[in-house]
Structure 1
Amino acid sequence: MRAILAIDQGTTNSKAVLVSEVGEAVARGSAPVGISYPKPGWVEQDPRRLYASVCEAVEACLAAAPGVTVEAVAISNQRESVTAWDAETGEPLGPVVSWQCRRTASDCERLVAQGRLDRVQTLTGLPLDPMFPGSKFRWLLDRVPTARPVRLGTIDSWLIHCLTNGDRHVCDASNAARSQLFDLKQQKWSEELGEIFGVDTSLLPEVLDSSADFGATKGLPGVPDGTPIRSAIGDSHAALFGHGAFKPGDGKITFGTGSSVMTTLPRFIAPQNGVTTTVAWRINGTPTFAFEGNILVSAASLPWMAGILGLPDVAALVHLAETAEPGGPGFVPAFVGLGAPYWNSDARALFSQINFSTTRAQMARAVTDSIALQVNDVITAMRKQSGGVLGALYVDGGPSQNRFLMQCVSNLIEHTVIQCEAPEASALGAAYLAGLSLGLWRDLSVIERLPRTTQFISPVTVDRKDLLNTWNDALHRSTGSQTPATCE
């Protein structure tokens, strides 16, 4: 059997998936990455361990499918996490500063105070928030010895550097679009943005299409040297592509540590209402744009709450939540501030409206509901701006396999969601892009028709008003606002 080896490098795990010529995942492997929290609000990873986890995942995947011929390697990766390394030796010159990290919050506030927000948002589609890499690149550069020849990059570029033994310094347009140094309309690194953030753009990788020649492997365990690397794309974008969400208005929600809500656009539309505009993917030099809302903490709150309540695992927490009716306390999972559509670095996690009658089940339900409530706020902001009809809406990531959680999402956004059997949407999307580059699949219409096992979850009527009012009251307490909002 011939297959594409898709590497899906995530926040907590690296995965490897072999994808066959008919678009099916035939083998899988995974390995943990590890995360450290050196200071409150700081989140980082070890670049060497990150690549080692990729090698371990690849070895496990290939061991599960002996005899498979790897035609090409595809990459999807966690976005907005960045690192620096020596251009000559490949030695890391700092940690991987995670997308979750808030260490540059004061730098972003300073740029806002200088009146830089509108210009940055116009060029990049992104707000001035420490989630995005512009200020994090500067933080890394400030700690690199001046004599060292530096390369800066997002995680796809670090992986490609490692996979090619330093031969290539490249990234794809979707990852570049999340860097805050990339001009979306011009589709190139911006010297103006480099000056704003204090980053020499010559240190950044060459930007390629998402489906392109990224070099060839050298030293990847179990994979012959010279195997072509034919795609790279941010994991959220890869999931959108993997679902075949190619029509304007089609979208997906990826649930994980955080969540990403993304909908395809017919053209570039400047962002408003707390959502961002990004490059979904770029093929043959032509970018496809999308709206996106990045939720910083989503399913990550579930194991935390399970531990607080003394439950054995997340499944037990969700089962307990199912026994409670909506309408208890509110919970805001602002452990590292709030992302879209609020963008408030100072928000803090809290429960609100707890009283002597509050039960453990109600507290569990407040935490599970917070996943759907954050998604609803992002979808509402997107609908307000686009004015278009929301099309097919897919859900993926581990929590998407839980029917109760996805029913809550469908009910709140009042729209059908499409639950997919295969949890590896990001890996599949990266593999499909590599297949396009190889000519394995002729065009998007062929990919759109690849077999997928799906289940439609339609909304049922619930009392949204009380739930939204409780949520909005909790939000305003979390952010320090004096006047709570009420739902319309």
Structure 2
Amino acid sequence: MTQKILVLDEGTTSTRAMLFAPDGKLLSSAQQELTQHYPAPGRVEHDATEIWHRTLACAREMVEKAGGAEHIAGIGITNQRETVVAWDRNSGEPLSRALVWQDRRTADFCDTLRNAGHEPEVQERTGLLLDPYFSGTKMRWLIDNEPAVKAAAEAGTLALGTIESWLVFKLTGGSFISDASNASRTLLLTLDGEDFDEGLCDLFGVPKSALAEVVDNSGTFGSTLRELFGAPIPITGMVGDQQSATIGQGCLTPGETKATYGTGAFILANKGQSIPASSNRLLGTVLYQEDGVRTYALEGSVFVAGSLVQWLRDSLGLLGTAAETETLARSIEDSGGVVIIPAMAGLGAPHWQPEARGVIAGLSFATGRAQIARAALEAMAHQTFDLAEAFAADGARWTSLKIDGGMSANDWMAQDIANLLNLPVERPDFVETTALGAAMLAAKGAGIVADLQEASDAMRGTIGNFAPSMDGNVREKRLVAWRKALAAA
């Protein structure tokens, strides 16, 4: 059977390869952790060579599980979106460490552009704000501060791309492309532009010649080198991770909304073919592009979600495992007044305060591990509530919310989100919808299904539901404490 789909899911803390059947069943997976480099406060880096080698190792394991390359119809790639890799097109080797989406080193550059009055035009044209989160300012920093990157730019051999561009380049031996969903996160693509924009490239100081060709999210994007897997495998889908999860959740109709709780938390509402605009500091982004036609989304991005729990576990030693948070949260009636503002990488939407730092408020001698763990989970609902208000103010009020991502497996957290939002929350049994969305796109690109709706109907599994059950007075007390702590951040 040649209809298996191989998905490469390139996350922030790990890389995975996942093998899917045409009905969406996960057949097998392989995963390796990625090394996080923190050279200074606010700086986060990856080793692009490590990303490539570990992704390739996982992919080879899945090809073997499939019975060989001839049994795989196509590869779908989904990735952390704004992370930037600089490499030499001739050697195919990285010229520096990759700057991760969480990296904040370009905050001053963003301030300079904002103070010069550029943000309104940038937001209108790209849907994005002037924030270090996005790729364009990272690209400029690499050119200005990494001698090898500057030399390659001067020699005309520089390639600057997000992770899907890097992986496709390595897999194919030189194809240099970026899908529209990832390209829309760079600050260098207008929402209605076919390719990267010369004027925006000039504003940010990024040579257009160093950027990839912008392509659809499904189709035939070349094939892998024969020597990698024993035979060529076509690459038939590419998509940014949050757009992929939106597709994987079946949010194919305008108004449908999903929230992914992974390293960060990202909420996207399908806006159809209408270019989104926000008056409440939400983002407009490309959801997907087919045959040159774009479907858009309105997005709210929270920088710290699962990484807060990881910090409690790895840096403070308060947890043995991330799953322990649910047991601890259920062991007490409330957080004892403890509120956590998880601004370790600044505050994202709708606040956009890159210099904000984390706060733990309401500590007392009665505070223990359980109170802090519960407050960490409550922070997910608090941040989601702030975004719900912003979406509503932009005319995109939620009537329900579909959740996914690793953290959403926590039943207590899922119920708390439903309670605080006072909305029904839906969660699929298979919460890894990021990989599923990439599989759907790859299946369409490989010709297994005719369109995304057919892929969604065939591949999505059963859905669980959480109904709100919180007293209004309790909800309001929680929100008052959250806003007070937020002011301190």
What TM-score comes out, normalization by structure 1 length? 0.94
Aligned mates of 1:438, 1:74 — CA distance in 2:
10
Q: Which stretch shifts more, 267-276 or 168-177? A: 267-276
The one-letter code sitting in structure 2 at the alignment partner of 1:204 is L
Q: Letter of the aligned partner of 2:476 in structure 1?
A: K
Shift of 1:220: 6.5
1:242-283 CA distances to partner (integer Å, 9 max, x unpaired)?
121111111111111111111101311212212101000111
In structure 1, the partner of 2:129 is 127
The residue that corresponds to 2:290 in the other structure is: 283
* Aligned counterpart, 1:419: 427
- Aligned-pair CA distance for 1:185: 2.0
Q: Please name the residue that 2:218 is paired with.
A: 211
Partner of 1:469: 480
Instruction: Output one character per residue of 1:46-74: Cα deviation in whole Å (capped at 9) or x when no partner.
Output: 11001111112112333444468011111
RMSD: 1.7
Q: Which amino acid aligns with 2:484?
A: D
Matched-pair contact (CA < 8 Å) for 2:46–2:97: yes
- 2:158 is the alignment partner of 1:150: yes
Structure 1 unmatched ranges of 5 or more: 479-488
Q: 1:71-95, CA deviations, whole angstroms, 9 ceiling, x for partnerless residues?
A: 1111111100011111111111121
Kindly indicate whether the alpha-carbon contact (under 8 Å) linking 2:13 and 2:34 is maintained by their aligned counterparts in 1: yes
Q: Is the 8 A contact 1:414 1:459 kept in 2?
A: yes
Q: Does 1:374 align with 2:383?
A: yes
**1:460 corresponds to which letter in structure 2?**
S
For the residue of structure 2 that corresponds to 1:265, the secondary structure is strand
Match status 1:294 vs 2:293: no
CA distance in 2, matches of 1:274, 1:119: 14
Q: Deviation per CA, 1:398-435, whole angstroms, max 9, x where unpaired?
A: 11111111111111112212111223211211121121
Rate the CA distance shift 1:83–1:380 in 2: closer, same or farther, 3 A. same
User: Deviation per CA, 1:89-137, whole angstroms, max 9, x where unpaired?
Assistant: 1111121100000011111111111111111111111110000011101
Local SS of the residue matching 2:394: helix
Moved more, 325-334 or 202-211: 325-334
In 1, Cα distance between the equivalents of 2:361 and 2:411?
A: 27
CA distance in 2, matches of 1:220, 1:342: 48
SS in structure 2 of the partner of residue 268 of structure 1: coil
Residue of structure 1 equivalent to 2:89: 87
More helix by share: 2
Q: In the aligned structure 2, how far is the partner of 1:93 from the partner of 1:197?
A: 20
Superposed, which structure 2 residues align to 1:189-268 within 5 Å?
A: 189-218=196-225, 221-222=228-229, 224-225=231-232, 227-266=233-272, 267-268=274-275
Does residue 445 (structure 1) correspond to residue 450 (structure 2)? The answer is: no
Return the match for 2:373 from 353, 364, 375.
Answer: 364
Q: 1:46 to 1:8 in 2, by over 3 A?
A: same
Amino acid at match of 2:485: A
How many aligned positions are there? 475
Q: Which shifted more, 449-458 or 466-475? A: 449-458
CA contact 2:399–2:423 (8 Å) conserved in 1: no
Mapped contact 2:78–2:239 kept (Cα < 8 A): yes
CA offsets 1:411-470 (integer angstroms, 9 cap, x no match): 111221211122321121112112112221112331232241211111112311110111
User: What is the aligned partner in structure 2 of residue 187 from structure 1?
Assistant: 194
Q: 1:75 aligns with which of 74, 77, 82?
A: 77
SS at 2:86 equivalent: strand
Partner of 1:114: 116
1:204 Cα deviation after fit: 0.6
Q: Are residues 220 and 252 of structure 1, via their aligned partners in 2, closer, same or farther at CA, if it must alter by over 3 Å?
A: farther
Report SS of the residue matched to 1:300: helix
User: In the alignment, does 2:105 pair up with 1:103?
Assistant: yes
Distance in 1 (CA, whole Å) between partners of 2:114 and 2:227 is 43
Structure 1 residues 438 and 61, CA gap change in structure 2 (3 angstroms): closer
Residue 252 of structure 1 aligns with an amino acid whose one-letter code is: K
CA distance in 2, matches of 1:89, 1:164: 14
Q: Is the 8 A contact 1:326 1:467 kept in 2?
A: no
Letter in structure 1 aligned against 2:394: Q
Structure 2 residue 347 is the aligned partner of structure 1 residue 347: no
Aligned-residue identity in percent: 36
* Structure 1 Cα separation of the partners of residues 91 and 134 of structure 2: 27
Query: Is contact 1:55–1:220 with CA below 8 Å preserved after alignment?
Result: no
Distance in 1 (CA, whole Å) between partners of 2:166 and 2:400 is 34
- 2 CA distance for matches of 1:370 and 1:310? 17
**Secondary structure of 2:125's match?**
helix
Over residues 150-179 of structure 1, what are the superposed CA-to-partner deviations in whole Å (9 max), with x where a residue is unaligned?
01111111111001011x110100000001
C-alpha contact 1:58 1:221 (8 A) present in aligned 2: no
What is the letter of the counterpart of residue 453 of structure 1? Answer: T
- In structure 2, distance between residues paired with 1:152 and 1:219: 25
Indicate the larger mover: 60-69 or 428-437: 60-69
Segment drifting more, 361-370 vs 144-153: 144-153
TM-fit CA distance, 1:223 = 5.3
Partners of 1:306 and 1:316 within 8 A in 2: no
Tell me the CA shift for residue 367 of structure 1. Answer: 1.2
C-alpha distance after superposition, 1:332-364 (max 9, x if no partner): 011111111111011111111223443432222
In structure 2, the CA distance between the partners of 1:360 and 1:12, relative to structure 1 (3 Å rule), is closer
Q: Secondary structure at the match of 1:399?
A: helix
**Deviation digits for residues 210-230 of structure 1 (CA, Å, limit 9, x no counterpart):** 0122111015643522x2111
Task: Determine which of 319, 322, 329 is the counterpart of 2:330.
Answer: 322
Q: What is the aligned counterpart of 2:467 among 458, 461, 470?
A: 458
2:295 and 2:79 map into 1 onto residues whose CA distance is 19
Contact 2:339 2:361 in 1 (8 A): yes
Closer, same or farther: CA 220–173 of 1 in aligned 2, 3 Å: farther
Q: What residue is the counterpart of 1:481 in the other structure?
A: none
Provide the rounded CA distance (Å) in 2 between the counterparts of 1:268 and 1:332: 32
Could you tell me how far 1:309 is from its partner in structure 2?
Answer: 5.7
1:331 aligns with 2:340: yes
CA distance in 2, matches of 1:18, 1:311: 32
Pick closer, same or farther for the CA change 1:311–1:91 going to 2, 3 Å: closer
SS of residue matched to 2:8: strand
More displaced stretch, 363-372 vs 173-182: 363-372
Instruction: Determine helix, strand or coil for the equivalent of 1:418.
Output: strand
Q: Is the 8 A contact 2:195 2:214 kept in 1?
A: yes
- TM-score for both structures, normalised by structure 2: 0.93
